[in-house]
A and B are shown apart, each in its own frame.
Chain A
Amino acid sequence: MSFLSIQHVSHTYFTKKTAKTALSGISLDVEEGRFLSFLGPSGCGKTTLLSIIAGLLEPSSGEVLVEGRPIREAQEPMIGYMLQQDYLFPWKTIEENILLGLRILKKDNELSRRKTFKLLKEIGLEGTEKQYPKQLSGGMKQRIALVRTLAAEPKLLLLDEPFSALDFQTKLKLEDLVSATLKSFSKTAILVTHDIGEAIAMSDTIFLFSTNPGRIYKQIDVPEVLRNLTPFNARAHPEYSSLFQTVWKELENLEKQTPSY
C-alpha cells in the first residue's frame, strides 16, 4: 500500500454559465519520503489538485487516500501547505505565526515549542521571534512560512509554487534549504511549479500536466545522480541539461497537441 494514492480524480468547476473541467482522470501513487513535482502551464489544474489532495476541496469524482484512508476522514490534519506567497499574518509576531498551527491543533506544549524554535534556528532566523513579518525580506518570510508549516509536523507537504515570487538568487538558496530540510525529516512532498529547472533540480519524479482538461501527460523519473545532489549542484550537472532538453521537448509536443494555443 502506498503512502498517498490518488484514484481517478476528476474535478469540474460549475458556474452559472460554464462548466469547466479542471482535472480529468488523475491517478497516481506516491511512496513515503518521495519528492514529486507537478509541471505544467498555468491553468492546468495544479492548484485544484493540491486543494483536493489537502482535503480542502471535494473532487467531483475519485478519491484521495493517505495511508489507505480517505483524506477527508483523517483524524488530525497531516497536510502542510505552502503557497506562492508566505501568507504570514501581518498582525502576529513571527513567534505567534510559527506557533499558530500548534495552537489550532491544540498541540502547543513545551516540547513542540522547543522543536519549533529549534527549526527556526536551523533555518537561520533565530532572533526574529518578536519581529513582525513586514520587517523581514520576502525570502525570510517564505522561510518563516516553511517553519510554520513544518511545526505542525505534517506527513505530507504540498508546495504550490512557493519560490515563484522570489528573486532568482533567493529562490536558488531556498530550494537548497527546503530540499535539505525535507530530506532531514524524510517528508513526502509535492511541488507545483512551471519552472522546468526547479522541477528537475528538486524532485525524484516529475509529472507533466496537459491542459484543458488537466491530465497527467507524462511521468519522468529524475536520474539517481541528480537526486543525490543539492538542487544548486544539480543545476550544474551535465545530466541536468540533457533532462532539461527532454522535458522541454515534451512540453513542446504537448503544446502542439493542444490547438487552443
Chain B
Amino acid sequence: MKSKPHRIEQLHQQYIGSLLREKRIVRTYQFFIFAFFFALWELSSWLEWIDPLIFSSPSKIVELLISKIQDGSIFTHIGFTVFETILGFILGTLSGTLLAAFLWWSPLASKVLDPYLVILNAMPKVALGPILIVALGPGFTSIIAMGAIISVIITTIVVYTSFKEVDPNYIKVLKTFGASRYVCFKEAILPASFPTIISTLKVNVGLSWVGVIVGEFLVSQQGLGYLIIYGFQVFNFGLVLMSLLIIAIFATIMYQLVEYLERKIIKSSN
C-alpha cells in the first residue's frame, strides 16, 4: 500500500531527470555551434581562406569594440538607435491600435478607408524614406517616423480584424445592461483583443528595427545604421560587422522583454 505513492514519486523524479538531461544536451549543442562558428571565422580569416579585409575576424571586431568603448563613442550610437527604435515601436503600435479603434467606432469610416489601407499595406514603407526626410528634416524625427510608419498599417489591420471578431454575444450581454458603445469597447472589445495586440507587439519590434536602420542609412548622422553605412563607404567591414552584432544583441534583448511582458499580461488576464 505504502510503496505505491513512493513508486510514483520515484517515476516523477526520473521524469524530471530526463528533462534536465535533454536540456543539457540542447545547451551543449547550442554552445558548440556558437563556438564552432566563431572559431572557424577566426581561423579562416587568419589563414586567409576568406578575405580578411572584407570579412574581418572576431578578434579584430572585439579589438575595435574595445577601442570604441574606451573612447565612449559606441554608447552614443547604441543609445540613439535603441531610443529611436523604442519610440518608433511604441508610436507605431499605439497609433495603429488607435486607428483600429476609430475604424471600429465608425463603420462608415472603415468602409471608406478600406482600399487605402490595402494600398498602404501593400506598399513598401521604406520607399517613403526620402519623402519623410524632406518633410521632417534629416534628423531623428524622420528616423522615428520610419520606425513607426513601417508597423502602423499592419497593426491597424490586424487589431481591427480582432476587434471585429469578438463574439457579438458579449456585446449583447453588455447592451442588456444599457451599455454605451464606449463601455462595450472598454469592457469587451479591447480586453478580448489584448492577446492579438500583444502578438503584434512582437512583430512590431522586428519591424521597427528595420525602419530605424533604414532611416539611419538615409539620414547618415548617428546610430548603428549610420555606422554600417559609414563602414561600408570607408571600406571598414570590421565596423559593419561589429554594428551588426550589436544590433543582433539589442534586438534580441528587446524581443525578450516584449515576450516577458506578454507572459506577464497573459498570466494576469487568465
Residues of A within 8 A of B (CB): 51, 54, 56, 76-77, 79-81, 83, 85, 87, 89-91, 100-101, 104-105, 132, 134, 152, 154
Residues of B within 8 A of A (CB): 167, 169-170, 172-179, 183, 187-188, 191-192, 194, 269-270
Measured between beta carbons, the chain A residues less than 8 angstroms from B173 are: 81, 83, 87
Measured between beta carbons, the chain B residues less than 8 angstroms from A132 are: 270
Q: Sorted from nearest, which 5 A-B pairs have the closest CB atoms?
A: A77-B178, A81-B176, A104-B177, A91-B269, A101-B177
Secondary structure dominating the interface of B: helix
Contact B170 A56 (CB under 8 A): no
Q: A90-B270, A100-B177, A104-B177 are in contact. Are A81 and B187 (CB under 8 A)?
A: no
Can you list 18 contacts pairing A with B, beta carbon distance less than 8 Å?
A: A54-B176, A56-B172, A77-B176, A77-B178, A87-B167, A87-B169, A87-B172, A87-B173, A89-B187, A89-B188, A89-B191, A91-B269, A91-B270, A100-B174, A101-B177, A104-B179, A104-B183, A105-B178
Which of B167, B169, B172, B179 lies at the interface centre, i.e. has the most chain A CB atoms within 10 A of its CB?
B172
Q: A81-B172, A81-B173, A83-B169 are in contact. Are A100 and B178 (CB under 8 A)?
A: no
Q: How far is the CB of A52 from chain B (nearest CB, A)?
A: 13
Q: How far is the CB of A169 from chain B (nearest CB, A)?
A: 25
Contact B170 A104 (CB under 8 A): no
Secondary structure dominating the interface of A: loop
Measured between beta carbons, the chain A residues less than 8 angstroms from B270 are: 90-91, 132, 134
Complex alpha-carbon distance, A80 and B173, angstroms: 9
Q: How far is the CB of A144 from chain B (nearest CB, A)?
A: 12
Q: How far is the CB of A17 from chain B (nearest CB, A)?
A: 19
Q: How far is the CB of B42 from chain A (nearest CB, A)?
A: 52
Q: How far is the CB of A50 from chain B (nearest CB, A)?
A: 10
Measured between beta carbons, the chain A residues less than 8 angstroms from B179 are: 104
Measured between beta carbons, the chain A residues less than 8 angstroms from B178 are: 76-77, 104-105
